Amino acid sequence: MAKVAVKEYFPRELAGRAKGAREVSVYEGHYKQIFEYGLEKFLNEARTLASFNSMEGIIWVKDFFYENSTAYIIMEYVEGINLKEYVRQNGELKPVKVLEIMRPILLSLEKIHHLGLIHRDISPENIVLNEEGNAYLVDFGITRPYTGEDFKTITVFFKRGYAAEEQYREQGEQGPWTDIYARCATMYDMLTGV
């Protein structure tokens, strides 16, 4: 039987669980509205990931569902370490090695961009290398469309050192170029350790 990772939506600042209970209890007042909004975003991440199941270098979603007044995502489990830790342990990587690691992710991101989506959070922490050295892009929690009506609701989000300039502004126009900047910064980190 293959190992899986189970991701539960359980923001502790918005909800709790009694000892030994399965059911999540959402705090009263405005917490409930925030919880429900976050729950929908969580399930959107699952839907997005499930649509990428045929792509190399992307974590596959096996299932997602509501249960216990919350939701769960069942994903393939990748045994390994993230790129940040890998570079820390092994030092700067040769350009050939960087391209070998990143190639499947670069090709999959191109397909994701053609679907009108951007990842918005590419960094060494969000790329995991398994024991065979295959790389997987993880954490699609802030993936958004970059065109149409949904584009107008893109929020400010950035990971210092990997975020493009437009991610620092509320009205910054984000698109595939936003991910290109982040993956270049990630590759620079792999090459230099900085």
Which positions are catalytic?
Answer: 121
- Give the full edge-to-edge strand order of the sheet including 80-82: 80-82, 127-130, 135-137
Residue 44 in tokens: 């959107």
Assigned token pair, 90: 């092994």
Cα dist. 146→10, 50, 160 in Å?
A: 28, 19, 21
C-alpha distance across the termini of the chain, in Å: 39
Which region holds residue 69: left if phi is over 0, alpha if psi is between -120 and 50, else beta?
left
Which H or E run contains 32? helix 30-50
Residue 70 to residues 20, 23, 44, 47, 125, Cα–Cα distance (Å): 16, 8, 14, 16, 26
Residue 57, CB half-sphere, CA atoms under 13 Å: how many? 18
Q: Quick check: 14 and 34 in contact, CB under 8 A?
A: yes
